[in-house]
Amino acid sequence: MATSNEGSEDDLSGGCYPIHIKDILNNQYQITRKLGDGGSSTVWLALDIKFRRHVAVKIIVASKADRAADEIAMYEHLCQSVPSAYSVYVTELLDSFQLQRPDGIYHCLVLEAMGPDVDDMLEYHPSLVSAASTHYPIWMVKSILKQVLQSLAFLHKHGIVHGDVQPGNVLFSVPSFPNCATEELEQFANDSKDISPSVPKVDDNTDENHVAEARSLGEYVSLEPGFTVKLADIGSAFLMNNPPKKAYTPLDLRSPELILKNQLDEKLDIWSFGCLFFEIMTGKALFSPPLVGAEAEHRDNEHLWQMHDRLGFFSRDMVLGEMKHISGGDDVPSAMSLESKFNSLKPMDCSETEASRITNLMRRILQYDPTKRPTASEILGDVWFAGE
């Protein structure tokens, strides 16, 4: 059978590892289909020949070896602290190994196979979205957010900050997946896209001119009450007692302390959760700093001004301290408060009373001073989550 080769503009020195459908990695994992890709890795569905189960193999680009080491270290910390409990909240690490090529060493993490993230899932279940709405019904939003909070509470309890809480790292579980036949899951060569002719081959054996399209497992996810989601990708995580100087949070989910280069702790996750809360409820980002083509200072400037517009004035200490260099300009966006933006985008099944409860909770979460933000456990105790 013809196979599909993984090759693209990233397949240069230190880039993506070249993969063919039906390749066997580490004498154990037979590649079945491509699940997804990102800036630092590709993820493949594979049949674990030894244990006769399907798994996800995350192959991290050679140039990001340090990121792989960090992720494995976080998993080791979890396994040593709570070996039987962490997989309820975070995608489970089953194995790890390395692949070596002339251009570098590729670290591979074998994880439990998961479905799409909360953004992509709607493509597989369009019936969830009514003509007058853009996102999940409220009962599903509440369940997703509650499970994210439980995951954060668990990580924080054990001294870990996730560092990259975003829609792309909230994945649906696939409860019926183990019963699927391998043939049903297999990806074929014609399920691919062309590569630019200017892209150099990785080696003489990579003679295909296409790259496998990502195909998630959305069709195998059940969204009945009782569905589960987990946090994925702890490659940006860090220990509370050893915070980094910066974090790899998506630009629009950055907290004030991250922009202002202040010390980081678990309240970084709480701010990101507040932004995630808004985005999952409405289908739109709360903040939208320029992502491309803007200098860092201008981007940060505009992001802070958007915070001011949505949430109100910064404290006097912040204005006279870290923010004294920030100034507005002609391109400062027109003011729209958190409440105004939410009410203009809220789901059709969200009443005015519930909208008020939700925005009050968002304001409680999105406080500029990280010490004033509630913990994940405290948010779970809010009437909107606890009053079911």
In terms of DSSP bridges, do strands 229-231 and 210-212 run parallel, antiparallel, or are they unpaired? unpaired
First to last CA, the chain: 53
The CA R_g of the chain, rounded to the nearest whole Å, is: 22
What CA–CA distance (Å, rounded) separates 219 from 66? 34
Place of tokens 């009437």: 383
What CA–CA distance (Å, rounded) separates 184 from 189? 15
What CA–CA distance (Å, rounded) separates 174 from 332? 44
User: 58 among the known binding-site residues?
Assistant: yes
Place of tokens 């409440």: 339
How far out from the chain centre does Cα 215 lie?
17
What CA–CA distance (Å, rounded) separates 261 from 254? 11
Residues 165 and 149: beta-carbon distance below 8 Å: no
Residue 49, CB half-sphere, CA atoms under 13 Å: how many? 11
Nearest to residue 382, comparing CAs of 352, 361, 355?
361
For residue 161, the surrounding DSSP H or E stretch is strand 160-161
How far out from the chain centre does Cα 102 lie?
31
What CA–CA distance (Å, rounded) separates 143 from 164? 20
What are the start-end ranges of the E strands in 232-319?
A: 238-239
Annotated binding residues for ATP, written as ranges, equal: 58
